[in-house]
Structure 1
Amino acid sequence: MSSDALRMTQSDMFSWRMEQNPILRSTVVAVLLLDASPDWDRFLTTVERAAQVLPSMRRKLVPDLGLAPPQWVDDPDFDLSFHVRRLDALHPKNLQGVLEVARTKAMTAFDPARPMWEYTLLDGLEQDAAAAVVMKFHHSMTDGVGAVRIAAEIMDFERAGTAREPMPAADVSASGPSMIGTIGWYASSGTALVRDSVSTMAKLGARFLIRPIQVVRDVAGTALSVARIVEPVVTTASPVMTDRSTRRHLATLDVPVDRLAAAANAGGGTLNDAFLAGIVLGMREYHRRHDAQTDQLRITMPVNLRADDDVTVGGNQITLLRFAIPCDIAEPEKLIDRIHEIIVNWRLEPAVPLAEPIAGALNMLPSGAVGAMLEHVDFLASDVPGSPVPLYLAGGKILRQYAFGPTIGAAFNVTLLSYVGDCCMGIDVDDAAVPDLDVLVESLTLGFREVCDLNSA
């Protein structure tokens, strides 16, 4: 592997630069509820092995000597005990107490001198579970799909444990930045730019000779597509969720997978379409309770760019789409169908595969300008596929698992992580935008009930 492969990509750098604005902090937190406390020694051994199998868990970011992106470097002082901790559960010794720990971690910045992840085992729960593990990652280290794969390295298919392959040799030693490396990056980047430009121009030239009008239309269409993706948003669509802060609170919501999938099928969409419909109907109820209404809301939705056979865990291999979603459709079936149409059209945008160059262009902007583009989004929603079978963690059976994605400027984030027969939803809210979390949860519960009742209507 070349040293360039260890440099932060433009998408990763975009997530990393958000740390300059705490409202945009890109920290992902996951909560695992267990039926028994894991064996501590076994847990440590499993995590230590995972840190050997996944080199990204032992690497930190070091700024480059020039203007090249920062570089992932092996931490010579890597200390597993700093990243893995064991605490007695705080009062209340239930899910709410676990979420209180998780929310404070979500609001706390990482130490830039260390790899950006940590696991905390909470023992002694008296309700909802016997123990819990709070996992924390920075988004520049991995995306949602990658985080699931990282977590899978410490999980078993049986309570007694899962046989694992012998420890592989390290794939590469990630040393610190050097002037030679920086010069090499400029040279390789320049060469790649020239090569890609020549290749693109040659292809366009050949096509232009055959279909000149179509080529002009395609180039113009791509330019307009890029403009739609990066178009600044200067006002919130919601008349209620307008303020932003650095304060966060977390909540959970469970919906059976089969019921949501059946509703999606009845509405002619996917499970993700039904998921979004449940949020939209919940938002209709939330605004009604505040004597307000809106015809549409703006959403940020991550789109996975990984190939089906891509097994890598590091880095962000997603692009963020921002678009308007209708809130004036009360019938769940019609709403699912309309959302499906919108999502399909956005996924076909010519600019979607250009996530890296778009991120590179955005990285040239001041962080304040980027914040202005994101802080007027109403909500963020993400659907991450989880395990369809029960999993165990050092002897404890995982009962539920929730992921809490960052709001990155939105009023709230709902992340769906499927597990066995449940859609486990983690809700991360900005307190200034949503000061009444209980009302939001009640409204979302009603919204998903309307969607899930669609198939039985």
Structure 2
Amino acid sequence: MGAQNEFMRASDAFSWYQEADPAMRATIVSIVWLDRSPDWERLVERVEAATRLVPRLRQRVAEPPLRIAVPRWETDEDFDLSWHLRRTSADTHDAVLEAARIEAMTGFDRARPLWTFTLVDGLQDGGAALIMKMHHALTDGVGAVRLAPTLFDTVPEPEFVPHPGEPGRANGGALLPAAILHTAGQLTGLAREVVTAAGPAVWRLLRDPVGGVRTAWDTVQSIGRTVAPVTDIRSPVMRGRGLGRHLHVVSAGLNDLKHAARTTGVTVNDAFLAAVTGGMRHYHHKHDAPVDELRVTMPVSIRTATDALASNRITLMRFLVPVAEADPARRMRLIDTRARSARTARSLGFTDAIAAGLDLLPTGFVGGMLKRVDFLASDVTGVPVTTYLAGAEVTAHAAFGPTMGCAANLTLMSYAGTCHIGVNLDTAAVPDPPVFIDCLRRGLAEVIAVGGVTP
């Protein structure tokens, strides 16, 4: 379930290095809503078992000096579950959102593993909630969903047998020598890959000189577009960047969104992105500042079946979305074309090498580019059936991705037939969250109506 004491991938290190700027914190917060308070002792037992099944949950980050290598995950010999799993109470759902907002704005203790779970019970309706906070270097949205079976069940009273294994091994030697060896191994591996790939490439070039040159040039251009500096903020309205955050959830039926997508011949992700783009259109018109296009960052999963659950296996692709397009069906089709181009870009095969190059640049320089992206949107396929946590039924699950310098992050997560869009707003960019949320609801309603459904 994840190697021990290993060095980060360059892409994980990228999100970790951005922590130097509080506005760039890569914190993922999600809220699991429950019909009642779970059995606390069973919850503690289950989380304890999860930390043994997934050793990364008991590891902290150690940074080699001068970035001679990427940071290394090391077993926390002082791991204290009671620090990571907490319990508090609140009266209302709004109070839970407020607690999650504070978590989203708070940095991690770098001396400990990068996660905390907080059970909030005592809600007036008899329900409860689990606020789950993780660093993006620890896992991504898809990885978090795949981690779910270590905590959640498909029946209220499962036959649970705690994992008997040890939580981890001793750390793999002194950090500095290990870092030097790791970097040397990375360089050797890169050289080996280049040599291995060179033979077939030369053979293809000899067989088809024109096609081979065209393929090479297309790859170079794709990498160039991926790493190209962002020099401007497209939005004339959402231009501020700060440390304040506002969280909200907008929900819709998964089948309604699927029907709208099928009607138009696109994917659910395209329909979701068209809804968000429509919301952006309404928001800019509210401020008498219509805009033709906005720049979005869309996470693209490069996760394979062999990747560890506790790992971040996404790459961030940027492209422009047609905000001025009023017709939701046409907007979906335009977005489908642009999003498909991003999902199939030749640069995806060079993700880790690109991240390694960006890791060498000053954090402020890279952060400055990311702060010029207008918004971030991602779609996570969640669990399709009802689940339970220590005897309590999960009624909803919403995730709030980090803004990472953008004005807003909008994350769609499906659960048991319902789509929950977790909205994370930078309040310096969006000082009127209720207006933004209303506009987002209008954009979502427009897209769903394409499928003939009245929201």
Partner of 2:434: 438
Partner Cα distance (1:61, 1:213) in 2: 48
Contact kept, 8 Å, 1:33 with 1:400, in 2: the verdict is yes
CA distance in 2, matches of 1:84, 1:165: 17
**2:231 alignment partner, SS class:** coil
- Equivalent in the alignment of 2:418: 422
Q: How does 1:108-119 map to 2 (within 5 A)?
A: 108-119=106-117
Q: CA deviation at 1:3?
A: 8.1
Measured against aligned partners, the alpha-carbon deviations of 1:242-268 in whole angstroms (never above 9, x if no partner) come to 010011110000010000000000111
Give the partner amino acid of 2:82. Answer: S
Partners of 1:27 and 1:177 lie apart in 2 by 29
Q: Identity percentage over the alignment? A: 41
Unaligned runs of 5+ in 1: none
Structure-to-structure mapping, 1:240-389, within 5 angstroms: 240-307=237-304, 309-310=305-306, 312-389=308-385
Q: Which residue of 2 aligns with 1:26?
A: 26
Output the CA distance in 1 between the equivalents of 2:423 and 2:183.
Answer: 42
SS in 1 for 2:346: coil
- Residue-by-residue CA offset, 1:89-120 (whole Å, 9 max, x unaligned): 1xxx2221101100111111101100000000
The aligned counterpart of 1:220 is 217
- SS of equivalent to 2:60: strand
Q: Which residue of 2 aligns with 1:122?
A: 120
Match of 1:448 among 441, 444, 449: 444
Displacement of 1:171 after TM fit? 7.6
2:8 aligns with 8
Taking structure 1 as reference, are residues 215 and 173 closer, same or farther at Cα in structure 2, changes over 3 Å only? Answer: farther
Partner of residue 397 from structure 1, selected from 381, 385, 393 = 393
Tell me the amino acid that sits aligned with residue 44 of structure 1.
V
Question: Hey, what does 1:40 align to over in structure 2?
Answer: 40
Alpha-carbon distance between aligned partners in 1 of 2:22 and 2:113, rounded to the nearest angstrom: 19
CA contact (8 A) 1:301 1:380 kept: yes
Q: C-alpha distance in 1, partners of 2:418/2:16?
A: 32
Look up the match of 1:88.
Answer: 89
Q: State the distance in 1 between where 2:361 and 2:307 align.
A: 32
- The one-letter amino acid paired with 1:440 is F
1:135 to 132, 135, 138: 132
CA distance in 1, matches of 2:237, 2:175: 51
Q: C-alpha deviations, 1:151-190, integer Å up to 9, x for none?
A: 3311111122354575456686543544442342233223
Cα distance, 1:85 vs structure 2: 0.5
Amino acid at match of 1:455: G
SS of corresponding position for 1:453: helix
CA distance in 2, matches of 1:136, 1:293: 36
In the other structure, the counterpart of 1:72 is 73
Shift of 1:149: 2.5
The CA RMSD measured in Å over matched residues stands at 1.9
Residue 301 of structure 1: SS of its match in structure 2?
Answer: strand
Judging changes above 3 Å, is the alpha-carbon distance between structure 1 residues 6 and 367 closer, same or farther for their aligned structure 2 residues? Answer: same
Task: State the SS of the aligned residue for 1:6.
Answer: coil
Paired with 2:81 and 2:410, the residues of 1 have a C-alpha distance of: 31
Q: Look up the equivalent residue of 1:85 and give its one-letter code.
A: R
Aligned equivalent of 1:97: 95
Aligned length: 452
Q: Helix, strand or coil for the counterpart of 2:419? A: strand
Contact 2:4/2:55 (<8 A) preserved = no
CA apart distance, 1:381: 0.6
Task: Report which stretch shifted further, 182-191 or 217-226.
Answer: 182-191
1:232 and 2:233 aligned = no
TM-score (norm 1): 0.95
Amino acid at match of 2:28: V
Q: Describe the SS at the equivalent of 1:409.
A: coil
Runs of 4+ residues deviating >3 angstroms? 1-5, 162-180
Deviation at 1:217, TM superposition (A): 1.9
Q: Which moved more, 1:177-186 or 1:108-117?
A: 177-186
The partner residue of 1:197 within 183, 187, 194 is: 194
Q: Is the 8 A contact 2:238 2:374 kept in 1?
A: yes
Q: Which 5+ residue runs of structure 2 have no aligned equivalent? A: none
Deviation digits for residues 230-251 of structure 1 (CA, Å, limit 9, x no counterpart): 1111211111100100111100
Do the aligned partners of 1:374 and 1:408 also contact (CA within 8 Å) in 2? yes
Give the Å deviation of 1:70.
1.3
- Cα separation, partners in 2 of 1:13 and 1:166, compared to 1, 3 Å: closer
Give the partner amino acid of 1:380: L
Q: Give the TM-score of the pair, scaled to structure 2.
A: 0.95
